[in-house]
Amino acid sequence: MALVPYEEGAGWGARQLHSPWASYRFASHTIRLKQDWRRLGVAAVVWDAAVVLCTYLEIGGIDLRDQSVIELGAGTGLLGIVATLLALKSSSGELLIHILLYHLGAHVTITDRAAALEFLESNVQANLPSEVRPRAVVKELTWGKDLGNFPPGAFDFILGADIVYLEETFTELLQTLEHLCSEQTVILLSCRIRYERDHRFLKMLRGHFSVYEVHYDPSKDVRIYKAQRGSHKVDF
């Protein structure tokens, strides 16, 4: 689950977190998401790291078409929704609707813990056109648990926004990343480095993967890291 700190009295930002709705424009679609701070807390609001990574995917020249993508700790589902829409765009920006007639199964897997799934599913269903919905699946994933439900090394991209926070989950998160990765998998993690423990996670990550900072948004103080197995490197 996407967990990040929250401080009361943070002005406009706090009001946004407590708003029941949040709207964004990505992939030629308006995405309107339910938020529910009172019921689900930090897992049910949109954080800057998700917005920054969505923007990076859309304008960074990353081709998600016909790729197998999984999002960890999806929360409201913004990132997974945007990835699904981008995976179906042609170079001219048109949705490749006709391809849906020939491709079976989901290409984007949007995951979180069981407690957040109903809320997550409602946002995904509300924001993906009916003909696109078969290309996305919402699925339970608690890091380090029941990894046999996910084929090892089956994903081209692993995405995570503000999932690096609770130190007690770091070992399970790394275990999950290792299970899901092949030699070619690209991991993209978007986060705001707030505490020393965040640096400790990056050190742990570098013990298992080659890690590069590929983007920094100074207006939101959010960084995007790309990680891959060993010395394998894919340039965007």
| Residue 165: CA count within 13 A, CB half-sphere | 18
Question: Please, what is the end-to-end C-alpha distance for the chain in angstroms?
Answer: 28
- Mean pLDDT (the chain) is 85
Is the pLDDT at 47 greater than 80? The verdict is yes
Domains in the chain: boundaries: 12-229
Q: What is the pLDDT of residues 96-131, one digit of tens each?
A: 444 443 444 558 999 999 999 999 999 999 999 998
Q: How confident is the model at residue 194 (pLDDT cuts 50, 70, 90)?
A: confident
- The CATH number that domain 12-229 falls under is 3.40.50.150
Could you count the other beta carbons within 10 Å of the beta carbon of residue 200?
13
Most confident of 11-15, 24-28, 40-44: 24-28
Is the pLDDT at 4 greater than 70? The verdict is no
Q: Is the pTM of this model over 0.95?
A: no
